[in-house]
Amino acid sequence: MDLIVGQLFAGLSYGSTLFLVSAGLTLIFGVTRVVNFAHGSLYMIGAYLAYTITTHWSATPINFFGGLLLAALLVAIVGALIEVVVLRRIYASPEIFQLLATFGVLLIVQDVTLALWGPNELFAPRAPGLRGSVDIAGALVPQYSLFVLLVGPLVYALLWWVINRTRWGVWVRAASQDRETAGALGLNEPWLFTSVFALGAFLAGLAGALQIPRETVNLQMDLAILIEAFVVVVVGGLGSVTGALWAALLIGMLHAFGNWWLPQSTLVLIFLVMAVVLIVRPYGLLGRPITPPVSRLQAHAPFVAPAPIWRAVGAVALSAAIALPWLIGDYAIVIATEICIAALLAASLHFGMGLGGIVSFGHAAFFGLGAYTVALAIKYIDAPFAMALLMAPIMAGAAALLVGRVVLRSHGVYAAMLTLAFAQILWSTAIQWVDFTGGDNGVLGLWSVLPKVLSSAAAYYIAVLTIVVASLAMLRKMALAPFGFSLRAARDSELRAEAIGIDTHRIRWLAFSVGGAFAGLAGALSAFHKGSVFPTTLSIPVSVDALLMVLIGGVQTLVGPVIGAVAYHVLSTELTRLTDHWRLFLGLAIVLLVVAFPEGIVGFARRRFAKVR
């Protein structure tokens, strides 16, 4: 009994912390419609600032808790600066561009934090006055855990009062329900957005500050809390503070009792709960359908056939790619092979996102599934090269067919978060099912099945280039076929498309499956290229990289994903090679590209050189 009580209070306390982070995230999304990837960074900054303040002030209760509040206030200022300097410039862009801008901010914060506080874990002082325990039904519950447990409901009560009983709260509710109408009626949107972002940052910073007596301060805090905060926000319902409270308590309890009863499956359980909730209630427990803001950009502009001169440029580029093995060294050949694989991954995502408007935050699921299909087929059934390579797109396509059946019942951010949930379930399984997948040790020795003719870097590059070019040609053929036109019709006006007899759900479902199959093929090529497969192939950074490549190149261009893959991979590779602060410069580059070229490199070039024939 005492163990159950102890886990109960541990879960409630952790749920309270999750609520503080998630409440800020859901407020920001509810008003600005920004899925803030940098929210975990604000949590981490709060922890680091609180550590610095509390270790330099004398250890009295007033100084300690005053230091926690001061850290949260400083984080609020940082959040306001992020909104003013970065996000205010791109509110007219599609939501996915805003998400990637915040991902760039996340990279910047990671490197700045590393430079200021170093790579080592930091140990903060314990909370003065709350260092003991309380005996509750035989369980010794730390006093500080009870304090944190009470902070969550107190903050919820204050938020409820502010949102429902103040003029500022009326503005927040108005902007949450209909941002355009509220602006037309005279609402000062810039001021409201900045204040909401500052409040959300304050709550994230407060949550981070409250954690320092309970855990070490480290550079992994941001992504660790961000993923679970996303789960809470989506389960509770985007924009619902009350939903965030109930979902945070649910996830907190699942976290506590899962670690106790099923420690090898805790990560899977959390995302499984998220998937089940969204399947039963597509908008979360207390959420509602989200109406996206009107964009001044042509997010769904029609495809334009390239001018003859650009076709000639493409032919020259392909000829140069074929000639590369005779022009560059082995290291550059390895990089060129990685670029080809990245181009196929980006094109597979673009097929569903660019043509069908299906945004995926979990495309790594199919890339990693293809890689693991190859690895496990070789490990357990001694599959030859050709057989393993063929199995990968079949398995990934079949998985996408099943996942798409569930995902496409939802729309917008909810559907995107469902794809993230499935990717995280696979990632968690790959890590925790050690006996089958090898866990963090991965699966090694895949080069042993490569035919001798492909044993050199140059030969494998030519093989990959051939497969990728053929795959891109197939995707282009489908995009310009009646199937592609039907898919774009379903994207641009679902009701009109259905009125003329197009089965929009089936069309989008098939497109999602096709994208998954080609992502699996890219994963298989990557597995043979590296000779090993690890759980990182299923991780969130792989999905984000795919999104970045598509958006940097240009969503509404068929060649955009290829150009984006070349630009992003060369940039990230060279920055990693040249400087230890590559995250800082890569983050700055992402933010600048999103702000300066919201239509992507190819979209910008097409507009800039529209008269070139």
In angstroms, the CA 179 to CA 286 distance is 20
* The domain boundary residue, chosen from 238, 261, 284: 261
585 in a structural domain: no
Per DSSP, the three-state class of 444 is strand
Per DSSP, the three-state class of 239 is coil
Written as one string, the DSSP assignment of 247-278 is: HHHHHHHHHHHHHHH-TTTHHHHHHHHHHHHH
Residues 218, 141 share a domain? yes
266 in a structural domain: no
CATH at 175: 1.10.3470
Residues 192, 47 share a domain? yes
184 in a structural domain: yes
Residues 364, 254 share a domain? no
Residues 368, 223 share a domain? no
Residues 121, 13 share a domain? yes
Collect the ranges in the chain with pLDDT lower than 50: 293-299
Give pLDDT, residue 273: 84
| pLDDT, tens digit (0-9, with 9 covering 90-100), for 424-480 | 889 988 988 888 998 888 999 898 888 889 888 899 999 999 999 999 999 999 998
Per DSSP, the three-state class of 217 is strand
Residues 349, 246 share a domain? no
Range of the domain at 479: 316-539
348 in a structural domain: yes
Residues 348, 228 share a domain? no
Give pLDDT, residue 292: 54
Number of structural domains in the chain: 2
Residues 384, 490 share a domain? yes
Give pLDDT, residue 263: 64
pTM above 0.95, yes or no: no
Give pLDDT, residue 301: 55
Contact 464, 341 (CB under 8 A): yes
Residues 484, 397 share a domain? yes
Give pLDDT, residue 131: 79
117 in a structural domain: yes
**What's the one-letter identity of residue 185?**
L
300 in a structural domain: no
595 in a structural domain: no
* The domain boundary residue, chosen from 261, 295, 328: 261
Give pLDDT, residue 299: 46
In angstroms, the CA 515 to CA 362 distance is 12
Give pLDDT, residue 202: 96
Residues 498, 374 share a domain? yes
Give pLDDT, residue 394: 96
Residues 155, 18 share a domain? yes
Give pLDDT, residue 109: 94
Residues 502, 432 share a domain? yes
455 in a structural domain: yes
Alpha helices for 166-216 (secondary structure H): 167-177, 179-184, 189-211
